[in-house]
Amino acid sequence: MRTNKHGLQSLALLLVVLLVVYTMPVSAAEGTTRATSIGQVTASGAVDLRGVRINGDGTLFSGDRMNVGSGAYARVALGAGPKIEVGAGSDVTVTREADKVQVQMASGNVAFKGDGKAPIHIRVGAYEVTVPGDASGNVAYVGTAVFGVRVLTGSVSVRNTLTKQSFTVQKGNERLVTLQTGDINQPLAQLASSSPSSVPALPQASQSSKLSKGGWIAVIGTVAGAAAAIVILTTRNDDSNDNAATRLAQVKAIQNLNAIAATATATSSLASNVSAAASSASTTINNSLIAASTKATLTASANAIIAKANAALAKATALQAQITALQNAIANQQGPPTAAQTAQLNQLLADLQSARADANSALDDLKNLIALATASGVTGLTPPSFQPVSGPTIASASIPL
């Protein structure tokens, strides 16, 4: 009986130990064995980690999910490595495999700042944003169908893990990408140094400047010599997909105007150079020792080239003020571009194409003139090194960003 009694006591003790071990609370990430934490979370406001509201600091393990409430934010220090800030309305999951840290975003805004060493990977749908150690900026949802990448320092790469297509976002630039089609819009203009940051300086930033669910700021700076005023397009915490779509339509229109402005500037430069070169060629022809009739013919051709180039220059220069005015009007209104504004944009594009065609034609005429003059015995003429101007890349209103 004594032996059986001791045996039962030992069995009971073993059952108690097993019961304690297997009923200890575990996080969502503890379905598999893990030895150490991967970082620390400092919360301000309503921040849930592993489904539990944290006060102040919390320990982050691989696979942990973090939900940040309205008006809240969380700073995450990933060991001695990179740091991220998770904005209000964000739903993210952080994992680490070996030395690779990955942040899976379901919503919201994540600001990043590298440690100069280890990269960080941010996943949004099928896209992976790879942030090297020298980069800082943020990734944010715009509504539910589009996300944006803004880079303040360094550069980051964005890759579609399904199609394997990728692109790079350089310092001072930002891109918007749709999650449905993967279409990538044209890069926004270089950011002006005086423009506000879209990465919230939490918690000091005012509520109006915070980027949370659907938050994004697009800043348009000086474009290829066109003195375009700085404008800001921003989404708010309570924006619907319609709100975001309106702002995306505004961004697309302004970016198209940027492309038109840049091409107009290039056209003006080419036309000016062709006019000057044709004038110089005319002087050389008039000073040459060739037959008078040939000289007269060549001089007339040079004057025609000058006239054509100057006409192209006048057309392209006149576009700049109209482009800037339309950019500001679209950026500062409540709704998307109107039919009248779209028609005006299309007219600006048509006028630009006309000016560009004239400038390129004048360049071809100049090359032919110099070749003919040289064959006629005129010396001292050099073929122009100018390149023709390509047309702007325009996003169709029917193609989503």
User: What confidence score (pLDDT) does residue 180 get?
Assistant: 64
Number of Cβ within 10 Å of residue 16's Cβ equals 10
Does 291 lie in the same domain as 182? Answer: no
168 assigned to some structural domain: yes
| Contact assessment for residue 278 and residue 367, using Cβ atoms and an 8 Å cutoff | no
- Both 355 and 216 in one domain: the answer is no
Query: 3-class SS at 255?
Result: helix
Report yes or no on 239 lying in a domain.
no
pLDDT tens digits, 303-362: 999 999 999 999 999 999 999 899 888 878 888 899 999 999 999 999 999 999 999 999
The residue range of the domain holding 58 is 39-221
Asked if residue 352 is part of any domain, the answer here is: yes
Write down the mean pLDDT value for the chain: 76
**216 and 96 share a domain?**
yes
Q: Alpha-carbon distance 51 to 45, whole Å?
A: 15
For residue 302, what pLDDT band results from cuts at 50, 70 and 90? very high
256 neighbors 378 (Cβ within 8 angstroms): no
Give the residue with greater pLDDT, 307 vs 188.
Answer: 307
Question: 178: Cβ–Cβ under 8 A, 6 or more apart, which residues?
Answer: 145, 146, 400, 401
What pTM was estimated for this model as a whole?
Answer: 0.53
Q: Which residues of 173-194 are buried (b: 16+ CB within 10 A; e: fewer)?
A: bbbbbbeeeeebbbbbbbbeee
C-alpha 66: how far from chain center: 26
85 and 204 in a single domain? The answer is yes
Q: Is residue 18 part of a domain?
A: no
pLDDT at 199: 32
Task: Report if residue 16 sits inside a domain.
Answer: no
pLDDT at 195 over 60: no
Residue 144 burial (C-beta neighbours within 10 Å; 0-12, 13-18, 19+): middle
Q: Is residue 392 part of a domain?
A: no
**Do 161 and 291 lie in a common domain?**
no
The reply to whether 199 and 281 lie within a common domain is no
Q: Are residues 257 and 118 in the same domain?
A: no
In this prediction, residue 119 has a pLDDT band, given cuts at 50, 70 and 90, of confident
pLDDT for residue 224 is more than 80: no
> Do 87 and 204 belong together in one domain?
yes
Do 302 and 349 lie in one domain? The reply is: yes
Instruction: Check whether 97 has a pLDDT greater than 90.
Output: no
Residue 255 and residue 270: Cα distance in Å, rounded? 23
Domain membership flag for residue 110: yes
| The pLDDT of residue 6 | 53
Q: Answer with the one of 221, 253, 268 that is the final residue of a domain.
A: 221
Residue 83 has a pLDDT of 83
Structural domain total, the chain? 2
The CA distances from residue 380 to 53, 320, 373, in Å, are 81, 37, 10
- Report pLDDT for 222: 29
More confidently predicted of 85 and 362: 362
349 assigned to some structural domain: yes
* Residue 244 binned pLDDT confidence (cut-offs 50, 70, 90): low
Judged against a pLDDT cut of 70, whether residue 32 lies above it is answered with no
Name the more confident of 118 and 375: 375
The pair of three-digit structure tokens given for residue 120, joined into one six-digit string? 């960080």
**Domain of residue 171, CATH code:** 2.60.120.1440
For residues 262 and 347, state if they share a domain: yes
Residues 53 and 182 in one domain: yes
Report the C-alpha gap between 149 and 137 in whole angstroms.
8
**Mean pLDDT throughout 228-242?**
43
Whether 359 and 277 map to the same domain: the answer is yes
What is the pLDDT at residue 146?
A: 78
Question: What's the pLDDT score for residue 114?
Answer: 76
CA distances from 104 to 64, 261, 293, 334, 355 (A): 10, 38, 76, 33, 48
